[in-house]
């Protein structure tokens, strides 16, 4: 049986998750993003979970140290770094900032619970092949680290009995090389649903840093949710002003161009990408477009609607347009889309993002339909 502390631990994890859910809105509007650690876990700084006590304010406190240096020299390192050496029984909880690790699934489920997001019903057949390896079979060759002791000794025992070398009164079993058995992997083909998210963003002069920050935060959480819903997911980025180009993630959020805006340029590129790389029978396609709503001309807007209608919307699960409010943007494009597709179109989701506080609601707009 597990030690009771595992239950305390599970309890702690539950409290932490609850706390994160309660603070999700704050996290998101602060633009604080959990930092991925590489092994699929996310590190989240924890809002204080410690017990409130009467304690000294630290304004007047400072501290004490040992070592060289004159008055006025900086004290390197961070205050409260752990003391080295042997740990004493933990009767004093440390005051260190708490960081918790959550897996992508856990984090996504928190998001899902908080926003009451429905699971996505993938369209199309499960056509993507994916190979998964599982160590389910036994082989006669392999590295020592995969040696299967029980099976090896069984083989040895069989051999010894067969050869009449086994003495029940002195049950010594010595495996030789040919008795060794190793765990080995079986490759299994599974069919998956896969998805592609195509982000398009207007990087013309009117989109400021704050607007981009909003897009960045929003796209992080959208990616998180979609990743939890699809095993295989690809993400493409397109930036545009009067012309569009495909870029890396980093460039996507950093680029700033001046000049005019032709939304159609992005949509054209998006169409090209879909047509060349993603067969909509196999892929769930999610084009997201973020802008401040300015477009160069009504003619271009007309062209945009044409491309959407004829090429993009039929191929996609849903087309999402997020309009980030900016001082310079007219917001006209939203109105145009709204006039055409209305509020409750199944294939087009429109959302206005006023400020950082509205990010969470906008995420719900986009993902709340379970498309």
Partner 1 sequence: MRSKPIDGALAELRIEIEKYALEYGLDYYPVVFEVCDYDTINILAAQGGFPARYPHWRFGMDYDQLSKGYAYGLQKIYEMVVNTKPCYAYLLNANHWVDQKIVMAHVFGHADFFKNNYWFSNTDKNMMDVMANHGTKIRRYMDRYGQDAVEVFIDKILSLENLLDPAVLFETPEVARRRMASMVVEEQDDSSDDRSSALKSFMRQKARNDGDQVGQAPLPIEDHNSDYDSERYISPRDVMLYLIEHAPLEEWQADILGILREEAYYFLPQRMTKIMNEGWASYWHSTIMTQKALKASEIIDFADHHAGVMAMSKQNINPYKIGIELFRDIEYRWNTGKFGKEYLECTNMEVKENWNLDTGLGREKIFEVRKSHNDITFIDEFFTQEFCERQQLFTYKYNSRTGRYEIDSREFEEIKGKLLTSLTNFGQPVIEVEAVNFKNRGELLLRHVHQGVDLDLNYAAETLKNIHFIWKRPVNISTTQEGVETFMSFDGKEIKTGS
User: Which residues here bind partner 1, judged by CB under 8 A?
Assistant: 3-15, 49, 51-94, 96, 98, 100-101
Q: Which is nearer to partner 1, 14 or 125 (CB)?
A: 14
Q: Which is nearer to partner 1, 68 or 346 (CB)?
A: 68
H helix or E strand, kind and range, residue 222: helix 209-229
Q: What angle do CA 59, 65, 66 make, to 5 degrees?
A: 165
Q: Which is nearer to partner 1, 70 or 116 (CB)?
A: 70
Tokens at residue 280, please? Answer: 């909509």
Contact present, 295 and 263 (Cβ < 8 Å): yes
Q: Which is nearer to partner 1, 60 or 170 (CB)?
A: 60
The least distance separating partner 1 from the CB of residue 19, rounded to whole angstroms, comes to 11
Q: Is 308 exposed, middle or buried (0-12, 13-18, 19+ CB in 10 A)?
A: buried
Tokens at residue 253, please? Answer: 């959020």
Q: Which is nearer to partner 1, 82 or 168 (CB)?
A: 82
d(CA 73, CA 201): 48
The least distance separating partner 1 from the CB of residue 110, rounded to whole angstroms, comes to 18
Q: Which is nearer to partner 1, 15 or 174 (CB)?
A: 15
The least distance separating partner 1 from the CB of residue 177, rounded to whole angstroms, comes to 31
The least distance separating partner 1 from the CB of residue 51, rounded to whole angstroms, comes to 4
Backbone angles phi, psi at 48, to 5 degrees: -50, 125
Contact partners, residue 293, CB within 8 Å, separation at least 6: 323, 329, 330, 331, 332, 333, 334, 335
Q: Where are the beta strands (DSSP E) in 99-243?
A: 99-103, 128-139, 182-192, 194-202, 232-240
Q: Which is nearer to partner 1, 51 or 119 (CB)?
A: 51
The least distance separating partner 1 from the CB of residue 50, rounded to whole angstroms, comes to 9
The least distance separating partner 1 from the CB of residue 77, rounded to whole angstroms, comes to 5
Q: What are the CA-CA distances from residue 364 to residues 21, 108, 116, 214, 324 (Å)?
A: 15, 13, 8, 15, 15
The least distance separating partner 1 from the CB of residue 65, rounded to whole angstroms, comes to 4
Residues comprising the chain, all counted = 371
Q: Is 223 exposed, middle or buried (0-12, 13-18, 19+ CB in 10 A)?
A: middle
The least distance separating partner 1 from the CB of residue 42, rounded to whole angstroms, comes to 14
Contact partners, residue 155, CB within 8 Å, separation at least 6: 175, 178, 179, 180, 181
d(CA 21, CA 17): 6
Q: Which of 225, 224, 248 is nearest to 236 (CA)?
A: 248
d(CA 197, CA 236): 6
Q: Which is nearer to partner 1, 89 or 172 (CB)?
A: 89
The least distance separating partner 1 from the CB of residue 64, rounded to whole angstroms, comes to 5
Q: Which is nearer to partner 1, 61 or 178 (CB)?
A: 61
């Amino acid at each position: 049986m597990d030690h009771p502390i595992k239950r305390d631990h599970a309890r702690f994890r539950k409290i932490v998750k609850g706390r994160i859910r309660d603070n999700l809105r704050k996290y998101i509007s602060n633009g604080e993003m959990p930092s991925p650690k590489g092994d699929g876990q996310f590190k989240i700084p924890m809002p204080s979970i410690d017990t409130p006590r009467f304690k000294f304010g630290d304004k007047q406190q400072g501290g004490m140290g040992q070592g060289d240096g004159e008055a006025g020299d900086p004290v390197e390192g961070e205050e409260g770094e752990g003391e080295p050496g042997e740990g004493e029984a933990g009767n004093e909880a440390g005051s260190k900032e708490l960081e918790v690790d959550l897996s992508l699934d856990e984090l996504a489920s928190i998001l899902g619970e908080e926003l009451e997001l429905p699971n996505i019903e993938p369209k199309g057949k499960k056509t993507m092949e994916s190979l998964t390896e599982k160590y389910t079979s036994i082989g006669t060759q392999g590295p020592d680290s995969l040696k299967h002791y029980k099976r090896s000794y069984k083989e040895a025992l069989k051999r010894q009995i067969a050869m009449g070398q086994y003495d029940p009164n002195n049950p010594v079993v010595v495996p030789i090389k040919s008795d060794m058995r190793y765990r080995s992997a079986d490759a299994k083909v599974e069919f998956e649903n896969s998805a592609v998210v195509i982000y398009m963003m207007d990087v013309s002069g009117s989109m400021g840093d704050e607007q981009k920050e909003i897009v960045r935060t929003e796209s992080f959480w959208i990616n998180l949710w979609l990743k939890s819903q699809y095993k295989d997911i690809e993400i493409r980025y397109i930036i545009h002003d009067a012309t569009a180009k495909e870029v890396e993630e980093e460039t996507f959020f950093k680029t700033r161009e001046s000049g005019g805006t032709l939304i159609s340029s992005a949509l054209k590129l998006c169409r090209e990408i879909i047509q060349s790389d993603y067969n909509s029978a196999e892929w769930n396609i999610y084009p997201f477009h973020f802008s401040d709503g300015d477009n160069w001309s009504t003619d271009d807007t007309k062209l945009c609607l044409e491309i959407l209608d004829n090429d993009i919307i039929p191929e996609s699960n849903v087309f999402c347009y997020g309009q980030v409010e900016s001082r310079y943007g007219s917001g006209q494009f939203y109105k145009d889309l709204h006039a055409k597709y209305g509020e409750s179109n199944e294939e087009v989701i429109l959302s206005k993002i006023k400020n950082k506080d509205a990010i969470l609601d906008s995420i719900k707009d986009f993902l709340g339909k379970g498309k």
